[in-house]
Structure 1
Amino acid sequence: MITRRGFLRLIGGSFLSMLSLGAYAVGIEPMLLTHVKRYSLTPPHWPAGLKLRVVALADIHACRPWMTPERIASLAAEANALQPDLIVLLGDYIAGMRLVTDQVTESEWASALSGLMAPLGVLSILGNHDWWHDHAAQRAGAGPTVARGALEGVGITVQENDAIRLEKDGHGFWVAGLADQLALRPGVEWGRTGFKGLDDLDGTLAKVSDSAPVILLAHEPDIFPKVPSRVSLTLSGHTHGGQVRLFGYSPVVPSRFGNRYAYGHVVEQDRNLIISGGLGFSIMPVRFGMRPEILQIDLG
C-alpha cells in the first residue's frame, strides 16, 4: 500500500516530468537542427530516364524568437546544400500565432528566402495564413496578397492555379500549383459565413498541354482524393504533422481527414502524396515527436 510520502513523491515526480516535457516541446524540439526527411520513389508512368531531386520547405511561419530571418536564411543554405534540381515552397510564410516576441516582416522573410538556388529554379505556392493575415485581400476576396508580392519581389515564382513546364536531361515535366483551399475566412466584416477556397484543380491541370508527368503543389492535403492519377506526385504541408506526434499518431490534425493525411508518404489507388511536417508552427509554439524538417525527394 502506498504511503502518504510515497504518494506525494509520485505526484511531485509526475509534475516535474510534465514540466520537463513541456519545456522540451516548447523550448528545445522546435529549435533543434532541422531534420532532412528523405523519400525515394518512382511514381507510376514516370519516364525511365528522368532522375529528379526536389527539395521542399513548408510552413515557415516567420516570427521571433522561433523563426527569425537568420534562421530562415540558414534553412535556405541547408536546402541548397542538398543539391536539388528544383526547390519548392509549400506555403505559410507568415506567423500563425500571437505567442511571439516580435513579428518578422514580409520583406525580411522573403529576403532570407532569396538565397535559395537550384538549376531548375524555385517555385512556390501560398498557404492559408498568407491569406488570412492579409486584411486587404480578405476584404476584396481576391489577391494579389502581400506575401505573393514579397516572393515575386525576390524572384521566386508564385503559382496560384497555374502550371509550368520544366525539362531535365531531355525529359519534360510539369509543376502545377494550386491557390489555397481555405484562402478566404468567414467573418461579418466581409460577409462570409464559411471558408472559401480559391483553388481550381481542373482549371490548373487543363494548362498541362502534353503527356509529361505532373508534380502538384497543394498547401492543404485535403484535395488529394480529387487528384487524378494523371498527377505523378502531390506535395503538401499545412498539417505540421499535428505538431505533436506519438507512435505514428497525431492527436490534433488540421484536416477533415484526420490522421489519414497528417504526415508522410501516402499511397492511395496508385497515387502518391507526401505531406511535410513543416518547419514552424501555428496556434501554439509546441512540437513534440515532430522535428522541423526539410524534404528531399528523389524521383526516378
Structure 2
Amino acid sequence: MQAKYYSPSLRTIRRWIGKFTVMAIALLIGCYIYGAKIEPNWIEVVPIQLAIPNLTPAFNEFKIVQISDLHSSRFMPEKRLDNIIKLVNQQQADAITITGDIITKNNDFNARKLEEKLSKLISHEGNLAVLGNHDHWSQVTDKLKQVLVRSKITNLDNQVYVIERGTEKLAFAGLDDPYWGKPDLNRVITQLPHDSAAILLVHEPDYIEKSAKTHKFALQLSGHSHGGQIRIPFLDPLILPPGGRKYFVGLNQVEETVEYTNRGLGMTGLPIRFNSRPEITVFTLHTIT
C-alpha cells in the first residue's frame, strides 16, 4: 500500500487547526467555569445617589437596598444566599425591597430554609416585596406568601406601605405581577398619601410606560431581565423576557419617573452568568434643592 503524502503547507495547516481546536476547547471550558462558578458569586454592590421630587427633608439620605430575582432553587446554594444576606445587612438600609422572582417555576423550595435566611434581613423601617412571574408560575405561591409573612417581609400585593417621620411621609407602593398576577394600579393609587414622594415596586421594568403616565411615582424599582444574564461584550442581550426587553438594565427615565432595573441575584435557564454580574443596589435618596 502506498503511503499518503502531505505537502509541508498541508501539514502546517493541520497543525494550526489542531492548535486552534485545543485553544477553542480550553476557551469554552474557561468561559463555562467563569460563568458557572465565578461570576454568579461575584456580587456587585451598586451605589446610586438619587434626587427625587416631593421627597421631604425628613427623608433626605434615606437608604433603600434593592435585591431581585433570587430564584431560590438548586442554582442558589445556601452559602451564596448567606453571603447575599450578609452584604445586604452591611448596607444598613432604612428599607429593603425585593422586586420579585423569589422562587423559580417548576422548582420546589425549602420553605424552612428560605424563611431562615430571609428573616435575617435587617432594616430600620421595613422589608418589602412584590411577586414576579416565576412566583406565580410556581405551584407553591401560597407557601411562598406564608414564608414572607413569617420572615416579617410585607408583600405589597396592590398595597401601599407608608413610612412616617413626624408629619412627613414616604410611600412604597407594590403592584402584583402585571402580566401573570392580578395587578390593580387604580387601587394602589387611591391608597397613596397626598403630596408625598412615592416609590413603586413592580417586577417587570417595561411597566414603566404605564406607571409613568399616572404621574404618581418618583421612582420605579424592577428586576426580571437579569440584565440579560448572558451577554456578549458590547452587544445587547440575545434573549430577554417579555416585559423586560426595553428597559432591561440600569437607570432609565420615562416622563417624570425614574426607573431602575436591577440585574438580580439568581439564574434561570442555563445556570450561567456572563458579563452580567449579580447585583445589590443601594439607593440614597436626596431632596431636590
- 1: CA distance, partners of 2:97 / 2:255: 25
Contact 2:128/2:156 (CA < 8 Å) preserved in 1? yes
1:1-300 matches, within 5 Å, as 3-32=13-42, 34-48=43-57, 50-51=59-60, 52-64=62-74, 66-96=75-105, 104-134=109-139, 145-168=142-165, 171-183=168-180, 197-227=181-211, 228-245=214-231, 246-247=233-234, 249-256=236-243, 258=245, 260-300=246-286
Cα distance in 2, alignment partners of residues 262 and 178 from structure 1: 19
Q: Are the equivalent residues in 2 in contact too, given 1:114–1:155 (CA < 8 A)?
A: yes
Name the larger-Rg structure: 2
Q: Is the 8 A contact 1:73 1:115 kept in 2?
A: no
Distance across 1 between alignment mates of 2:81 and 2:244: 30
Partner-residue secondary structure (3-state), 1:225? helix
Query: Secondary structure at the residue paired with 2:281?
Result: strand
Instruction: Work out the CA distance in 2 between the residues paired with 1:38 and 1:168.
Output: 24
* CA distance in 2: counterparts of 1:5 and 1:97, whole angstroms: 48
3-state SS of paired residue (1:261): coil
The TM-score normalised by the length of structure 1 is 0.84
Please state how far the C-alpha of 1:257 moved relative to its aligned partner. Answer: 5.7
More displaced 10-residue stretch of structure 1: 45-54 or 229-238:
45-54
Q: C-alpha displacement at 1:37, in angstroms?
A: 1.1
1: distance between equivalents of 2:106 and 2:21?
33
Q: Where does residue 188 of structure 1 map in the other structure? A: none
Q: Secondary structure at the match of 2:162?
A: strand
- What CA deviation, in whole Å up to 9, does each residue of 1:23-57 have, x standing for no partner? 2112221122x210111111234335532110011
Gap change, CA 1:237 and 1:251, over 3 Å in 2: same
CA contact (8 A) 1:173 1:213 kept: yes
Residue 8 of structure 1 deviates from its aligned partner by 2.6
CA distance in 2, matches of 1:262, 1:207: 29
Alpha-carbon distance in structure 1 between the residues aligned to 2:162 and 2:235? 36
After TM superposition, the score normalised by the length of structure 2 is 0.87
> Contact 1:96 / 1:283 at 8 angstroms: preserved in 2?
no
Where structure 2 has 5 or more consecutive residues not aligned to the other structure, the ranges are 1-8
**1:69 offset after TM fit, Å?**
3.5
- Computed over aligned residues only, the root mean square deviation of the Cα atoms, in angstroms, reads 2.1
Q: Name the counterpart of 1:142.
A: none
CA distance in 2, matches of 1:60, 1:84: 19
Any stretches of 5+ residues in structure 1 without a counterpart?
A: 138-144, 184-196
Shift of 1:13: 1.5
State the one-letter code of the partner of 2:64. V
Contact 1:72/1:109, CA 8 A, preserved across alignment: no
After superposing the two structures, state which structure 1 stretch, 150-159 or 246-255, moved more: 246-255
Instruction: State, as a whole percentage, how many aligned pairs show the same letter.
Output: 29
Match of 2:230, SS?
A: coil
Shift, 1:84, TM fit: 1.0
* Partners of 1:97 and 1:290 in 2: CA distance: 24
Structure-2 change in CA distance of 1:69 and 1:10 (3 Å): closer
Residue 206 of structure 1 aligns to a residue whose secondary structure is: helix
Q: CA deviation at 1:269?
A: 2.0
Moved more, 88-97 or 219-228: 88-97
CA gap of 1:168–1:68, structure 2 versus 1, over 3 A, is: farther
Distance 1:90 1:111 in 2: 19
Q: Partners in 2 of 1:212 and 1:278 — Cα distance?
A: 28
User: Counterparts of 1:291 and 1:235 in 2: how far apart (Å)?
Assistant: 18
Query: How far apart are the structure 2 equivalents of 1:180 and 1:252?
Result: 21
Q: Work out whether residues 215 and 234 of structure 1, in 8 Å CA contact, stay in contact via their aligned partners in 2.
A: yes
